[in-house]
Amino acid sequence: MEFSEVNKNRHAVKSFNGEKINSDLLKEILTEATLAPSAHNIQPWHFVIVASQEKRAALSTVLPVNNAKQHESAGATIVVCSDVDLPERVIELVEIGGEFLAGFTKEALLEKMPLLFESYTESQLANYLALNIGLVAQNILLSANNRTIKTNVILGFDKTGVTEILGLDERYHPELILTLGYSDDEGKASYRLPVDFVTDIV
């Protein structure tokens, strides 16, 4: 599909036919989505595909009724987490990916980046992570739509409950839940403010 088509016909779909999406396809989507840019190329995301019957049922208990219904009919549910342990992520990047920032040596990265992240206040860190998570999440929606898989984004959930149910390591914070699936419902174009209203040219 042309990008403009993929973008234009992506709409929130909140009811699916229950057909499962296999993990290989989900990983293809996630691989494509992780081409998203991130600050310092730190890639501070972690995905949990909630696949087992047991975990899926438990997840429903910490979602408001309408969001639980979406999740229950979805072919896949992905919890998109941020990684708050950025110093550790630097080490992983250097170990797994080699020199990920052009012009820096591994030693310089390991020395400087953790200090930078440790200097962030709690709200600076939260903002930094949320921005990066938003970018990768949008890519998941578009990548899925390109494969005729419908999606929705869920922010309304009990974060502590999700953390407990999924047994998340404390470094991972659940930020968004994405429901994906097949549906006859195409969704519909929702209103957007005129671009001139939301834009200044200075």
Ligand X SMILES: Cc1cc2nc3c(=O)[nH]c(=O)nc-3n(C[C@H](O)[C@H](O)[C@H](O)COP(=O)(O)O)c2cc1C
Binding site for ligand X (CB under 6 A): 11-12, 14, 67, 152-156, 187, 190
The nearest distance, CB 41 to ligand X, in angstroms, is 23
Q: Which is nearer to ligand X, 12 or 36 (CB)?
A: 12
> Cα 91 to the chain's mean position, in Å?
22
The nearest distance, CB 71 to ligand X, in angstroms, is 10
Instruction: Please give the Cα distance from 98 to 91 (Å, whole number).
Output: 10
The DSSP secondary structure of 5-36, one letter per residue, reads HHHHT--B----------HHHHHHHHHHHTTS
The nearest distance, CB 151 to ligand X, in angstroms, is 8
Which own/partner contact pairs does 188-194 have at CB distance under 8 Å and 24+ positions apart? 188/11, 189/8, 189/11, 190/11, 190/12
The nearest distance, CB 10 to ligand X, in angstroms, is 7
Instruction: Please give the Cα distance from 164 to 5 (Å, whole number).
Output: 39
Q: Which is nearer to ligand X, 116 or 130 (CB)?
A: 130
Q: Which is nearer to ligand X, 191 or 201 (CB)?
A: 191
Q: Which is nearer to ligand X, 53 or 190 (CB)?
A: 190
